[in-house]
């Protein structure tokens, strides 16, 4: 089950809900002047007109005909062409449209969240990069942001040749920097036209980019998709709104709602106690997704009498409904939102008062989890009252035992399937070469689930576009957040592992590392040039026939040798080296940890021995497992001589 309302960067984005196609253009808007059509395969061209009407598609002097079906949709096919151009494409019938400066080359989709969306104007040396961005054979198309309850057929926009002006235009300071640098390097190396279709949205979850049909094959998402579909039907009928849907859902599924656990006089003395703030998985409710109630009493100081009070709970994962003395004072659905609620003076009384919070968690961690300083009561001119410490709690209903949860999609891109509907479905069946993908931060606490979700999404896209198992290259999450003093098991390491396993096991997939080019304090690191270059290395080696190393050392196997473990690698790239992030030789390897049977990991000594690395620690006499770069922001320095960093790994991979 996913968090349907996870949000990281929604405040910088805006979206609209569309339930039906806004128009039916004679020729789909993906076709325009300056477009790139996929070389070497048959290319579909389509649009809408009156049912039964004949349409002719002519490329230069060669024509193809189609007849509009009962719904008015027509589709013709252009025969395979080699890379080159320019060509002229004319579509004639009830209307006539001509497109000029048409090139044949390779078309790549560039998708993901904010690190793919981040424009070229935000990168290192942005001014110089923009000034040099004059590549007539590189063509750009940006898909507008759109949330949709059903798969769309239309898209607005037009193709542009890459110039300093066109690459700098658009939201968040220009065209996707990662996409641009990837495409630029391909144009330089392969010397054929490259078309980039940029479709991304910051702060979004992978399940939003996956079709409903594909998500229904996963137990984690089936209920969310069914709830979304049911909500959409009811909203279309106008019979209810989302708030009403949720109220009815709680009444049906939650004994606490039915029995009035929010009431001031309710007796919660038999409930357990939890020290807040904390994620409840670490405080007595391991692996619990569902509804949990919290209650706490506080004494109203005499000086606070007849005054409004502000209640601050910090963030709540995912959704809360909050009452004071039995009256609702607030509730929010986004797990990153601060819960700051006004308590009118009329609701408070001298002496004991009661706060009740109903929390619904739909996946991953749950609970009232912020920082201690975020939990307090405020009254103007008075010292605050801390709410840190013991709260009574009672788990109600696990999500697995509830009916499908209603899903709201209006203005929220982080709902199952809405971005597939609005920003991928409307590109199908445009002929493409492949895709690059930079996403994962918003799924960062669900790495084990991402092992299944990402391959499901990739397979879904490949099925939809109908051009076979097209290349799909994944950017592994950059190093970010504080450096940890001791070995740990952080969520981003597990997410990177899921990305790696997908690239390793799914045919025609690949991985571009950013483990050494991140920024501890910035989730949007500026060095997108190297990200684009490493993605291009994957394509150049695997799709364009260049005999180059495209990957850093990749864990292959390990053996125990007395009190040490010897690690072997693929992608040696001429040999193993220790170097710093500036490319200078390093005195010793760092980033390795080792553990015995107790799985207590300690920092290890590591040395390069030929094409292997030998890892040991005087604290571990009988090692059983080694990890490398296993942290949110690891200090790590193993490279190959091709200058590419080693892929983070653990030898104790859970199955």
Quick one: 568 and 462 in the same domain? no
pLDDT at position 239: 58
The span from the CA of 123 to the CA of 129, in Å, is 9
Q: Is residue 612 part of a domain?
A: yes
pLDDT surpassing 50 at residue 21: no
pLDDT at position 318: 82
Last residue of a domain, one of 483, 517, 542: 542
pLDDT at position 170: 85
Quick one: 26 and 141 in the same domain? yes
Last residue of a domain, one of 542, 570, 597: 542
Over 207-260, what HEC string results?
A: HHHCCHHHHCCCHHHHHHHHHHHHHHHHHHHCCCCHHHHHHHHHHHHCHHHHHC
Separation in Å, CA 379 to CA 148, 322, 352, 385: 43, 18, 16, 9
Quick one: 22 and 157 in the same domain? yes
At residue 90, φ and ψ (nearest 5 deg) are -120, 135
pLDDT at position 97: 97
Last residue of a domain, one of 492, 519, 542: 542
Separation of CA 176 from chain center: 16
Q: For the domain that residue 191 is a member of, what is the CATH number? A: 3.40.50.1110
Closest CA to 162 of 114, 198, 125, 200: 198
pLDDT at position 317: 85
Would you put residue 194 in left (φ > 0), alpha (ψ -120 to 50) or beta? Answer: beta
pLDDT at position 411: 65
Quick one: 306 and 205 in the same domain? no
Strand, coil or helix: 115: helix
pLDDT at position 8: 26
Quick one: 425 and 389 in the same domain? no
pLDDT surpassing 50 at residue 10: no
Summarised one tens digit per residue, pLDDT across range 471-498 is: 999 999 999 999 999 999 999 999 999 9
The span from the CA of 531 to the CA of 538, in Å, is 11
* CB-CB contact of 641 with 613 (8 Å): no
pLDDT at position 7: 31
For residues 422-444, average pLDDT: 97
pLDDT surpassing 90 at residue 336: no
pLDDT at position 35: 98
Quick one: 499 and 590 in the same domain? no
The span from the CA of 368 to the CA of 278, in Å, is 6
Q: Which carries the bigger pLDDT value, residue 282 or residue 27?
A: 27
pLDDT surpassing 90 at residue 405: no
Q: For the domain that residue 324 is a member of, what is the CATH number? A: 2.60.120.260
For residues 31-56, average pLDDT: 98
Quick one: 522 and 447 in the same domain? yes
Quick one: 128 and 180 in the same domain? yes
The span from the CA of 7 to the CA of 334, in Å, is 6
Tokens 């910090």 sit on residue: 314
Quick one: 150 and 22 in the same domain? yes
For residues 163-191, average pLDDT: 96
Q: Is residue 469 part of a domain?
A: yes
Cα dihedral across residues 149, 150, 156, 159: positive or negative: positive
Q: Is residue 372 part of a domain?
A: yes
5-14, 357-366, 547-556: least confident range: 5-14
**Domain span holding position 607:** 554-650
Q: How many domains does the chain have?
A: 3
Quick one: 350 and 457 in the same domain? no
pLDDT at position 280: 93
Contacts of 511 (CB under 8 A, 6+ apart): 473, 474, 475, 476, 499, 500, 503, 504, 538, 551, 647
At residue 237, φ and ψ (nearest 5 deg) are -70, -20
Q: Is residue 234 part of a domain?
A: no
Summarised one tens digit per residue, pLDDT across range 592-635 is: 999 999 999 999 999 999 999 999 999 999 999 999 999 999 99
Quick one: 376 and 514 in the same domain? no
Q: What is the mean pLDDT of the chain?
A: 92
Quick one: 106 and 151 in the same domain? yes
* CB-CB contact of 149 with 417 (8 Å): no
Q: Is residue 435 part of a domain?
A: yes
Q: Is residue 168 part of a domain?
A: yes
Q: Is residue 108 part of a domain?
A: yes
Q: Is residue 82 part of a domain?
A: no
pLDDT surpassing 50 at residue 18: no
């Amino acid at each position: 089950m996913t968090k349907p309302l996870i949000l990281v960067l929604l405040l910088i984005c805006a979206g609209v809900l569309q339930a039906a196609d806004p128009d039916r253009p004679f020729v789909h808007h993906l076709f325009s002047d300056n477009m790139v059509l996929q070389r070497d395969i048959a290319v579909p061209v389509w649009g809408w007109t009156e049912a039964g009407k004949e349409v002719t598609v002519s490329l230069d002097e060669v024509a193809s005909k189609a007849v509009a079906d009962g719904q008015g949709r027509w589709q013709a096919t252009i025969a395979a062409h080699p890379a080159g151009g320019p060509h002229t494409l004319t579509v004639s019938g009830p209307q006539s449209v001509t497109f000029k400066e048409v090139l044949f080359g390779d078309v790549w989709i560039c998708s993901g969240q904010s690190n793919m969306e981040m424009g070229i104007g935000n990168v290192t040396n942005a001014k110089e990069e923009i000034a040099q961005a004059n590549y007539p054979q590189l063509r750009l198309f940006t898909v507008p942001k759109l949330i949709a309850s059903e798969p769309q057929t239309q898209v607005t926009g037009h193709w542009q040749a890459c110039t300093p002006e066109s690459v700098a235009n658009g939201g968040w300071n220009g065209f996707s920097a990662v996409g641009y640098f990837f495409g630029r390097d391909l144009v330089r190396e392969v010397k054929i036209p490259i078309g980039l279709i940029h479709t991304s949205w910051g702060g979004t979850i992978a399940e939003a980019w996956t079709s409903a049909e594909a998500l229904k094959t996963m137990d984690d998402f089936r209920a969310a998709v069914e709830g979304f579909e049911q909500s959409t039907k009811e909203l279309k009928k106008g019979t209810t709104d989302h708030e009403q849907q949720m109220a009815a859902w709680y009444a049906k599924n939650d004994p606490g709602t039915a029995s009035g656990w929010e009431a001031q006089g309710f007796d919660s003395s038999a409930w357990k106690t939890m020290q807040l703030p904390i994620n409840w998985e670490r405080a007595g409710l391991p692996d619990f997704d569902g509804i949990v109630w919290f209650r706490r009493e506080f004494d109203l100081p005499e000086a606070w009498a007849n005054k409004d009070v502000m209640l601050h709970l910090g963030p709540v994962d995912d959704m809360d409904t909050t009452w004071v003395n039995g009256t609702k004072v607030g509730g929010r659905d986004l797990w990153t939102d601060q819960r700051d609620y006004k308590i009118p003076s009329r609701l408070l009384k001298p002496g004991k008062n009661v706060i009740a919070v109903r929390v619904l968690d739909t996946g991953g961690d749950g609970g009232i989890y912020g920082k201690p300083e975020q939990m307090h009561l405020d009254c103007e001119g008075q010292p605050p009252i801390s709410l840190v410490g013991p709260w009574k709690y009672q788990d109600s209903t696990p999500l697995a035992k509830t009916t499908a949860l209603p899903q709201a999609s209006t203005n929220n891109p982080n709902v199952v399937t809405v971005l597939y509907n609005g920003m991928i479905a409307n590109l199908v069946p445009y002929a493409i070469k492949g895709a690059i993908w930079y996403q994962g931060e918003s799924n960062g606490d669900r790495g084990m689930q991402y092992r299944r979700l990402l391959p499901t999404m990739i397979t879904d896209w490949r099925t939809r576009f109908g051009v076979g198992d097209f290349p799909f290259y994944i950017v592994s999450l950059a190093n970010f957040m504080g450096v940890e003093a001791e070995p740990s098991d952080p969520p981003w390491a597990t997410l990177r592992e899921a990305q790696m396993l997908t690239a390793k096991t799914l045919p025609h997939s690949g991985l571009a590392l950013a483990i050494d080019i991140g920024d501890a304090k910035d989730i949007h690191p500026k060095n997108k040039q190297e990200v684009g270059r490493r993605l291009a290395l994957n394509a150049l080696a695997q799709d364009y026939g260049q005999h180059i190393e495209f990957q850093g050392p990749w864990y292959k196997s390990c053996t125990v040798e007395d009190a040490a473990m010897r690690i072997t690698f693929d992608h040696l790239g001429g040999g193993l080296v220790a170097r710093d992030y500036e490319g200078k030789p390093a005195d010793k390897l760092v980033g390795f940890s080792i553990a015995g049977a107790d799985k207590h990991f300690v920092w290890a000594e590591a040395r390069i021995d030929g094409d292997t690395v030998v890892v040991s620690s005087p604290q571990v006499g009988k090692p059983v497992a080694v990890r490398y770069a296993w942290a949110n922001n690891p200090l790590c320095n193993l490279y190959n001589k091709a200058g590419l960093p080693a892929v983070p790994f653990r030898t104790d991979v859970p199955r």
